[in-house]
Amino acid sequence: MSLQRLVLNFTREGIEVRTLYRSEDGPNPGTKARTRIVSELARIGLQDALEALEDGAECVGTSGFTTREDVLLATISPDADKLAKGA
């Protein structure tokens, strides 16, 4: 399985984690096994993101005036920077 994207939405009820990943085969939707797999992918992705942010991040996009959205790019390896720019 390959993690493609994590999107975090902070709500009053908690945090919604949307996980996009590629899989050749796996458990059906709604099963406990699939929940475990997706939870592990999200956990690993968040840990990788935190490690990358500790090494520094570059602001690669901004928008808004009073409601702001900034995009940070924190690479996890020297080759990841090349991949992100080519995406």
Single pTM value for the model: 0.68
The domain of 67 spans 56-87
Into how many domains does the chain fold? 2
Say yes or no: 17 and 49 in one domain: yes
Residue 16: its pLDDT value, please? 86
Residue 56: its pLDDT value, please? 86
Say yes or no: 45 and 77 in one domain: no
Residue 77: its pLDDT value, please? 63
| Highest-confidence segment of 1-5, 25-29, 72-76, 80-84 | 1-5
State whether residue 26 is helix, strand or coil: coil
Distance of CA 10 to the CA centre of its chain: 14
CA atoms of 60 and 17, how far apart (whole Å): 22
Say yes or no: 7 and 36 in one domain: yes
pLDDT in tens, 9-55: 888 888 888 888 888 776 677 788 888 888 999 999 999 999 888 88
